[in-house]
Amino acid sequence: MATVSGIRGESAVPSARGPLSALVTDALTSGPPPRPLPAPDTECEQADPYGDDLQLALHVCYELHYRGLAGVDPLWEWDPDLLRFRAVLEAAFESALRADTRGAGRAADLEAELDTMLVEPLVDTSVGHYLRDHADWGQLREYFVHRSVYQLKEADPQAWVIPRLAGRAKAALVAVEFDEFGAGRAECVHAQLFADLMRDAGLDPVYGRYVDSVPAVTLATVNVISHLGLHRRLRGALVGHFAAGEITTAPSARRLVQAIDRLGGGAACRHFYAEHIDADAVHEQVMRRDVLGDLVAREPALAPDVVFGVRAASLLEERLETHLLDAWRSGRSSLRLPLSGPSRTAEKDVLP
């Protein structure tokens, strides 16, 4: 069984998925900088901004700002050549997001955007509904693997926005983060609760363990938060993205609890999602009234960026949901590297 220190340690350098990610991983594993990286402009022009190669390259660059990568010199974090390389990747990704969210809308759209996220669809077509009503245990385990890329560092990227806020917005966001980080209790940190869930589901809880297994659509949902968090100019978008997550988590967590109960999942699996039902219902109101309300009142020019963050969150989650449902409904694994272990619904199969 992995220890907490193992969960929180450096992850392995993932395998490259194309020329962009190969340039990054080859450089990082060649020793300390400087090692000049070629300009990635040509490769970026040919790469899908949502595709495996670009998204993995971004993930590797961003991971240097979290817990690092095993065997990679820490000096790479602020290497000028690597940062220039990353900036080209980020420009391609952000440009695609802005184009696909139709310019992020106007300031007057903010309340409407948030209200829309509270409306349940008339037809139950979400991944949460599928997991609740139709999924087998193997598909639920796959879902945990997809979510592990973010959940094992839950709330870390949002913490970058704290020094960029002021007044009530700052105080309220810190209060939400305090809950995410376990209210001072290490065993209650949400990332630790998810590691406990992974163990309970017979999965490896080590941080970054499944990066090689997940597709680009999963990496993009995490990369966008890192991108928004690392750039002060995008602080409004980061807060919008954060609010979108808090608004939508409580109902989706309720469905996950029902799915776990139906499939006979363990107590730690259930506890992670049950914890988010009440907590995020409160966080939704705090984020909407105290964080967003105060931020936009102080800096009205940030309202379009807040809408961009909300829409970017929705867009990338919809892309992931489409991928998951298409795979499962056609009888395929949703992962690049399918899991071994139980895939049939049976309580005796749940715990290793």
Q: What is the DSSP string of 109-131?
A: GHHHHHHHHTPPPSS--SHHHHH
- At 1, list the tokens: 């069984």
pLDDT at site 8: 55
pLDDT at 103: 52
* 96, 101, 102, 103: CA torsion to nearest 10: -80
CA 26/CA 164 separation, integer angstroms: 34
Distances (CA, A) of 146 to 12, 38, 50, 150, 242: 17, 32, 16, 8, 19
Q: What is the pLDDT of residues 103-148, one digit of tens each?
A: 544 444 777 777 776 655 544 679 999 999 999 999 999 999 999 9
Give the pLDDT score at 35: 84
Residue with tokens 């690597």: 82
The segments of the chain whose pLDDT lies below 50 read: 1-6, 104-108, 122-123, 343-352
| Radius of gyration from C-alpha coordinates of the chain | 20
Phi, psi angles (nearest 5°) of residue 329: -70, -20
Q: What is the pLDDT of residue 191?
A: 97
In the three-class reduction of DSSP (H, G, I as helix; E, B as strand; rest coil), residue 69 is classed as strand
Per-residue model confidence (pLDDT) at position 121: 54
The pLDDT assigned to 119 comes to 59
- What sign does the CA torsion over 66, 73, 84, 319 have? negative
Rounded Cα distance between 82 and 99, Å, is 26
Domain boundaries of the chain, sorted by first residue: 4-100, 105-350
Nearest alpha-carbon partner for 202 in 127, 132, 268, 136: 268
Neighbouring residues of 242: CB distance < 8 A, sequence distance ≥ 6: 158, 161, 173, 176, 287, 291, 309
Q: Burial-class residue 72 by CB neighbours within 10 Å (0-12, 13-18, 19+).
A: buried
pTM: 0.91
pLDDT of residue 300: 93
- Give the CATH number of domain 105-350; options: 3.40.50.1820, 1.10.10.60, 1.20.910.10, 1.20.1270.360: 1.20.910.10
Residue 273, pLDDT score:
96
